[in-house]
Amino acid sequence: MQIFRPDDQPDRPHGIMLLRGRACEDGKAPLKLRLWPIVSMVLILISGLIGTPTPALHGEGLVTLLGGGTLAVLIAIELYFDPQDNLAEFVFISLLGYASIALMTVQPSGTAVLGTYAAVASAVIRLPKKLALAVIIPVIGIVDIGILATADERLLVFAWTNIAYVFMLLIGHLLRLSEEHQIQAQELLDEEARTRRARNQAAALDERGRIARELHDVLAHSLSALSVELEGARLLALDRDVDSDVIAAIGRAHRHAASGLDEARAAIKALRGDSVPGPDRLEDLIAEMSAHGIECSLEVSGEPRRLPSEAALAVFRTAQEALTNVRKHAEEAERVEIRLEYDPDGVQLIVTDSAGDGAEPRVPQPAALAGAGAGYGVSGMRERAELIGGRLLAGPTEDGFRVELWVPA
């Protein structure tokens, strides 16, 4: 039977101490988990201080004062510092044992011997084999020598005291086994949680792969065919000298189809775990807005850094949707300001459009772009942000519209 913790085990915390550490709030374990060692030392201290001789600054009273003071310091350490590593525990338990022995020498009929019992049990519970023996052998040896040298009924007291030490060794061994069983159970629960998360991630990857295949086989194929047909229609219109406005409209439709095809391909890449567009692509969106006659500026604050794929994609898609809405709905907007702020905990995107003099719509259209789309742009942006723990606010301003996105990063 392995009484002591093996020396090759990892350093503390372990067992109940590890579980206690996981329950800590503000760096301290809950009181109910720290109460029993404190109460036991307080009882030993009280029994020593009320015994004879009482604490004093000379003679045997000085021994009582030093022993009791050491116990008081150990109580404070357990209460406020909660030692965890092997060396700190070794010093703590050794002082508990020697302070109790000091009280025993001047109060042989007192209860200070209980402190040595606590030291023996604590050494088995908390320390590896070598350090535990370095505490137990001197403590028991000093107590036994004192009994044989001073006790009236030496053999009887010696026998009962050592039986108590054996009992403490067994109690400590059982408590340590309980610690190990608890930590093994916790590790099994953690492993089960990791397995469950891996299983969920695998299922999500399978579903994303299925959606990517559907997008490729249906949407991307249809957009590709539409782009080819529109380009053919534009060339046919040029060959037959059709009105230039019709040719321009076909050209715009072809560009929209080509852009939609590029976006579909990017979405497929994102679903398959490939690189996704992020803040580095905002310049492309700005160039596209400038091509439509809208002044667009970008201001970046904070320290730019690589973002998680979900956050990067949310920033790009929100900026893209906000700028698309400007083109669709804000016909009098002449200026768009984009501000990207990198915070320690996340990144914020602000897109604001402002109206000009309002004299004429920017780009006359044969059919209003406001009718395009399903009308779920803002709600879609908000859902994308909330899925990754972010938030989105959108609403009108005095002379335009404002979209604010924050996502954790």
Using CA atoms, how far apart are residues 168 and 107, in angstroms rounded to an integer? 22
The length of the chain in residues reads: 409
**pLDDT at 372 (0 to 100):** 36
State the average pLDDT over residues 57-65: 78
Q: 173 lies in a domain?
A: no
Q: Which two tokens stand for residue 329?
A: 């709905």
Q: Mind listing the pLDDT tens digit for each residue in 143-155? A: 888 888 887 788 8
> What are φ and ψ of residue 382, in 5° steps?
-65, -45
Non-local CB neighbours of 373 within 8 Å, separated by 6+ positions: 328
Q: Given the structure tokens 């590709």, which residue do they identify?
A: 224
Distances (CA, A) of 381 to 264, 298, 387, 389, 405: 17, 20, 10, 13, 9
Domain count of the chain? Answer: 2
Using CA atoms, how far apart are residues 27 and 368, in angstroms rounded to an integer? 61
**pLDDT at 275 (0 to 100):** 62
Distance of alpha carbon 280 from its chain centroid, rounded? Answer: 27
Last residue of a domain, one of 150, 170, 193: 150
Q: Are 9 and 83 in contact (CB under 8 A)?
A: no
Of residues 103 and 213, the one with the higher pLDDT is: 103
**pLDDT at 35 (0 to 100):** 59
**pLDDT at 404 (0 to 100):** 92
**pLDDT at 52 (0 to 100):** 73
Using CA atoms, how far apart are residues 351 and 323, in angstroms rounded to an integer? 8
DSSP 8-state code for residue 6: P
Q: 234 lies in a domain?
A: no
Q: Mind listing the pLDDT tens digit for each residue in 304-335? A: 888 887 888 889 889 988 888 887 776 667 78
Sign for the CA dihedral angle at 355, 359, 364, 366 comes to: positive
Sign for the CA dihedral angle at 157, 160, 162, 164 comes to: negative
Angle among Cα 166, 172, 175 to the nearest 5 degrees reads 145
H/E segment holding residue 392: strand 391-396
**pLDDT at 340 (0 to 100):** 93
Using CA atoms, how far apart are residues 76 and 95, in angstroms rounded to an integer? 13
From its phi and psi, is residue 173 left (phi > 0), alpha (psi between -120 and 50) or beta? alpha
State the average pLDDT over residues 98-121: 81
Asked if the bond preceding 53 is cis, omega within 30° of 0, the reply is: yes
**pLDDT at 348 (0 to 100):** 93
pLDDT at position 366 over 90: no
Least-confidence region, from 193-202, 232-241, 327-336: 327-336
Q: 102 lies in a domain?
A: yes
Using CA atoms, how far apart are residues 113 and 93, in angstroms rounded to an integer? 14
Last residue of a domain, one of 150, 181, 215: 150
User: Amino acid letter at 29?
Assistant: A
**pLDDT at 356 (0 to 100):** 60
Of residues 157 and 55, the one with the higher pLDDT is: 157
Using CA atoms, how far apart are residues 230 and 224, in angstroms rounded to an integer? 10
Strand partners, 5: 128
**Taking the CA of residue 271 as centre, how many other CA atoms within 13 Å lie in the half-sphere pointing to its CB?**
17
Q: 7 lies in a domain?
A: no
Distance of alpha carbon 206 from its chain centroid, rounded? Answer: 26
Q: 21 lies in a domain?
A: yes
Q: Which two tokens stand for residue 18?
A: 């590890």
**pLDDT at 351 (0 to 100):** 92
Cα R_g (the chain), whole angstroms: 38
Structural domain range at position 128: 15-150
**pLDDT at 6 (0 to 100):** 63
**Taking the CA of residue 266 as centre, how many other CA atoms within 13 Å lie in the half-sphere pointing to its CB?**
14
Using CA atoms, how far apart are residues 222 and 372, in angstroms rounded to an integer? 18
Q: Given the structure tokens 């399978």, which residue do they identify?
A: 206
User: Amino acid letter at 78?
Assistant: E
**pLDDT at 100 (0 to 100):** 83
Q: 236 lies in a domain?
A: no
Q: Are 329 and 370 in contact (CB under 8 A)?
A: yes
Last residue of a domain, one of 150, 175, 190: 150
Say whether 247 sits in a helix, a strand or coil. Answer: helix
Using CA atoms, how far apart are residues 369 and 326, in angstroms rounded to an integer? 10
**pLDDT at 362 (0 to 100):** 41
CATH number for the domain harbouring residue 371: 3.30.565.10
Of residues 372 and 287, the one with the higher pLDDT is: 287
Q: 9 lies in a domain?
A: no
> What are φ and ψ of residue 391, in 5° steps?
-150, 155
Q: Are 84 and 13 in contact (CB under 8 A)?
A: yes
> What are φ and ψ of residue 297, in 5° steps?
-130, 155
Q: 245 lies in a domain?
A: no
Using CA atoms, how far apart are residues 283 and 271, in angstroms rounded to an integer? 23
Going by C-alpha positions, the residue among 386, 376, 387, 271 that lies closest to residue 325 is 376
Model pTM score: 0.45
**pLDDT at 364 (0 to 100):** 37
